[in-house]
Each structure stands twice: as structure tokens, then as C-alpha cells.
Amino acid sequence: MEKIKVGISIGDINGIGIEVIIKSLSAEQLLNYCTPVIYGSSKVLSYHKNIVDIDFHFHSIRSIDQIQPGKINIINCWQDNVNITLGKATKEGGEFALRSLDAAAKDLKEGHIDALVTAPINKEAMKMAEFKFTGHTEFLTYLLDGEENLMFMVNEGLRVGLATNHLPLDQVAPHLTKDLLMRKLRIMDESLRMDFGIERPAIAVLGLNPHASDNGVIGDDEERTIRPAIVECKKKGMMVVGPFAADGFFGSGQYRKYDGILAMYHDQGLIPFKLLSFGNGINFTAGLGRIRTSPDHGTGFDIAGQNLADPSSFRKALFLAMDIARNRMQYTDMHANVLVKREQPQEDENAGSLRDEEVG
């Protein structure tokens, strides 16, 4: 079977992104499972390779049609000499991160790669480069002509999705609607089935207010918005329960009972997730139409260039991208076979009666 082609955008050249890429890909057995394609620059990669100081070989190419299985491929998205300023947000850092991301995302859209793993970008540097989006997810949604998607944080046995992403707290409650929650829950349910191979996923929904409002004593968002969304999703056949008080839900270990958890806002989901995943979490964008994962850490400017970055999260992001690609293929094949089986009797409606006549 053909190996899965995994594209990799290098992120900010002044951070730890390229360091964790090199460390992750230096494990030779990885090439048994995928064909990695880095979008960036051989010069920049060599600069960071000298810092990491490990045995690492790559194959420089100019376009996706030149990739070779069994090798670490790097598509040179530019030939310019680059001024690397480790640990600093610069316009140049943002510009080259954008060039890498843009080239990788276009190949992802065209189906030239099966999945994309994005190394961290710096929002300040991207703003200097006149990047018009708040992050990777918004950019990819636009480029891939997507609609609704779900920021899904994943670790072994723990999957936390966010109803709202990068919103100030005072905008969260007005943004939450019954329709929004139903859309997010539908995406989560479909992703758990298709991307993670869970036949009938159980999903928990967190409340917005302290103690999930204590039956309306502390706010009414649960009764007015969250609970009605849960009820409607149940009517559609989903296994959804809640709303739960977030502190008790995680503190008591209830999270272990569920395949997916929907948090109402960024820190409500990310704080417990990062504490429980011990730095090994992965960010997966569900509902995008294409596969995109990333590590759950940032550019690490404070340790850039010191060879201190832990590649665990990035490595897990690579393997999750491969797992999801395989799961989607299996899901598609399985459901295609079901459709074929259901259609077979219609192809020859008289088959049974003809056989009866022959026997008689």
C-alpha cells in the first residue's frame, strides 16, 4: 500500500518549530509509515540542523511531483537568504512562515498530500507580515472553502473540543447559540466516528457558568441554550449528555467515561487538557474536509536555538495525522461496501424467481 504523504509547514523560523521537526523525523522507522514533505528552505533547515547536531539527511526538491518515498523531502518555497533572529518576533519570520503555510495548504487542497502538520507560528510576527487571519485554522478554513470546523485537542484517552476558539471572555456568552452548539456537536460526533473509528461515541458537554448555573441560580445559559442543543442532538441519534460543571467533571475523573468533551470556551477546555496531557497533546482541526494537526505548544522563543525543545507533541501530531488518514480510508471503504450491498438486490429483481423456476 502506498505510504501516506504528510506535508509539514515549518512555522516561525525564529522558534523551535524546525528543531522539533528535525528531532521527530530523525527516527528512521518513521519513513516506514509515511513520506514526509517539508515546505520551507534547505538553507533554513540546515541552519537549525547544525543546532540540533544529529544525523539528519533530506532530499531537496522544487515541487511535489519530485518527492521520493523513503526520504525526507523538502520543497524549497524560496531561494532567498534569510536573516534568522532566534527567539524574536520579526516581519521576516512571519513572511517565511506564511510562504511555507501557503504552499503546503495549496498542495493539501489539491490532494497532493494526504495530511498537513503545522509547526507553530507567532501571531505578532504574522501580523507584521500582514497575515489577515487569527491563526492556522481560520486561514485553512478560508483556503479550503470550509464552513464550520472544530478545534479538537487530542491525547490518549482524552479529546476536548471547543465551542468557541480565540474569543475574549466577554464575547463568549453572546456568541453561544443553540445552532452553534448543535453544529459543533455534529462535527465532533462525525469526527469521532470517521477519524477515530468509534462506532457510537459518547459526548459530554460542559456548562458555561460556575456549577453549570446550579439550576439557574448562577446564570441561565445552560437552560436557555446548552440543554436545548443537547436535547435536539439526542433526537438526531447522538449520544450526548450534560451540561456538566467543568471543575467537578475533570476533578472527579468523569472525563474518562467519554469519547469526546465539548467545552464552551478556550481556557475552560485547554487548561485541564494541558494539565492532563503532560505536554503531549495534539491540536486537530475536525470538520475541515482535509486533515490538519499540530503540536499543542507555541514557538518557544524562550528556548529557541538551545536544543532544549521536546519533540513529543510534534511527533504525536505526525502519527495522529497518519492514523486519521487511515481511519478515513477504512471508513470510506466500509460505508461504500454497505451501499453496494444494499444496492445489489435492486440490480436483478427477478434473480430469486428465476432460480426458483430452474430448481422446479
Residues 31 and 118 in one domain: yes
> In terms of DSSP bridges, do strands 158-162 and 150-155 run parallel, antiparallel, or are they unpaired?
antiparallel
Q: For residue 218, give the C-alpha cell.
A: 448562577
Query: Within this chain, do residues 359 and 233 fall inside the same structural domain, yes or no?
Result: no
Is residue 325 classed as helix, strand or coil in its secondary structure?
helix
Q: Which residue's C-alpha cell is 495522529?
A: 320
Q: Where is the domain boundary, 262, 280, 298?
A: 280
- Give the tens place of pLDDT for each residue, 132-170: 998 898 899 999 877 789 999 999 889 999 999 888 999
Greater confidence (103 vs 213) lies with: 103
Q: Determine how β-strand 150-155 pairs with β-strand 282-286.
A: antiparallel
SS3 245: coil
Return mean pLDDT, the chain. Answer: 90
DSSP state letters, 158-177: EEEEESS-S--HHHHHHH--
Helix then strand then coil, % of the chain, to nearest 5:
50, 15, 35
Structure-block grid coordinates of residue 12? 516561525
Peptide linkage before 243 cis (omega within 30 of 0)? yes
Residue 75, class by beta-carbon neighbours within 10 Å (0-12 exposed, 13-18 middle, 19+ buried)? buried
Distance CA 38, CA 273 (A): 29
pLDDT at 242 over 70: yes
For residue 36, which amino acid is it?
A: P
Say whether both 160 and 132 belong to one domain. no
Residues 227 and 349 in one domain: no
Beta carbons within 10 angstroms of residue 252's beta carbon: 11
CATH of the domain at 53: 3.40.718.10
Are residues 167 and 269 part of one domain? yes
Kind and range of the H or E element at 306? none
Q: Are 222 and 212 in contact (CB under 8 A)?
A: yes
For residues 297-320, average pLDDT: 95
> Within 10 A of 294 (CB to CB), how many other CB atoms are there?
26
Q: Which residues contact 77 (CB under 8 A, 6 or more apart)?
A: 39, 40, 41, 99, 100, 103
Higher-pLDDT residue of 341, 275? 275
Pair 198, 302 in one domain: no
Please report how the helices 227-235 and 178-194 are oriented relative to each other, as an axis angle in degrees rounded to 10.
Answer: 50
For residues 73 and 3, give the distance between their C-alpha atoms in angstroms, rounded to a whole number: 14
Q: What is the mean pLDDT of residues 255-261?
A: 97
Is a pLDDT exceeding 60 seen at residue 327? yes
| Same domain membership, residue 238 and residue 127 | no
* Among candidate residues 213, 217, 243, the one with its CA nearest the CA of residue 231: 243
pLDDT interval class at 357 (50, 70, 90): very low
The whole-number average pLDDT for the span 225-253 is: 96
Question: Both 214 and 314 in a single domain?
Answer: no
Specify the pLDDT at position 214. Answer: 77
Least confident of 92-96, 173-177, 183-187, 214-218: 214-218
**pLDDT at res. 356:** 37
- Tell me: pLDDT of 338 over 80: no
Q: Provide the residue range defining the domain that includes 180.
A: 150-280
Domain end: 259, 280, 301, which one?
A: 280
Q: Please compute the mean of the pLDDT values over residues 94-104 and round it to a whole number.
A: 96
- Alpha-carbon gap, residue 230 to 199, rounded angstroms: 19
**Beta strand residue intervals within the chain, DSSP E:** 4-9, 34-40, 59-61, 73-76, 115-118, 150-155, 158-162, 202-206, 239-244, 260-263, 282-286, 291-295
pTM of this structure: 0.87
Same domain, 276 and 171: yes
Q: How many domains does the chain have?
A: 2
Once rounded to an integer, what is the mean pLDDT over residues 304-309? Answer: 96
Question: If DSSP codes are grouped into helix, strand and coil, which group holds residue 264?
Answer: coil
d(CA 333, CA 274) in angstroms, rounded, equals 35
Q: If you ran DSSP here, which 8-state letter would residue 302 be given?
A: G
Are 107 and 78 contained in the same domain? yes
- Percent above pLDDT 90 for the chain: 76
Q: What is the average per-residue pLDDT within 247-275?
A: 96
- Per-residue pLDDT band for 353 (boundaries 50, 70, 90) equals very low
Q: Of 260, 280, 300, which marks where a domain is finished?
A: 280
Burial class (CB in 10 A: 0-12, 13-18, 19+), 91: middle
Q: DSSP character for 2?
A: P
- Rg of the chain (C-alpha set): 23
d(CA 95, CA 101): 10
Residues 230 and 263 in one domain: yes
Q: Looking at residues 268-286, what average pLDDT do you find?
A: 92
Q: How many residues does the chain have?
A: 360
Same domain as 86, residue 108: yes
